Copies of this chain bind each other. A is one copy, B any other.
């Protein structure tokens, strides 16, 4: 399962090179994985209220073509890997002409509200199954 969300480039995201500054793509990745979770029936806000955080441990981003002001951006996100302790997301970012701008990935640990690691399968088995099903393409994906 791949989630897809679109939004326009914000003016503040451009820099004096006339293109979107590279530091904004990780923010767009975050919009992508938030959207994926929402499509799986879980808002990131509610996970946090329930004491489950997802701090980043790794980020990688390959820049292929620049995004520009006036572009409509689409982020396509999927769960790449899931374990009891960790989750990895993969991202592809396109403009409205379907030009691939960026590919990237993020790795996260599952933690409690105090940033201590937790075992997702033990703490939230139903969430684990939903996320695993999103990889397998199984019927548990909740949509």
Contact = CB atoms under 8 A, between A and B. Distances in A.
Nearest to A57: B63
A60 B23 CA distance: 12
Given A45-B70, A60-B60, A115-B66, A55 B17 contact: yes
Interface in A1-26: 7-8, 10-12, 14-19, 21-24, 26
Copy count, this protein chain? 4
Contact of A12 (B21, B57, B58, B69): B21
Nearest to A18: B16
6 contacts: A11-B15, A11-B21, A16-B18, A16-B19, A58-B60, A59-B61
Given A10-B31, A16-B48, A57-B62, 18 more contacts: A10-B27, A11-B34, A12-B15, A15-B16, A16-B18, A17-B55, A19-B55, A22-B56, A23-B23, A23-B27, A44-B69, A45-B69, A46-B70, A58-B62, A59-B60, A60-B60, A60-B61, A66-B115
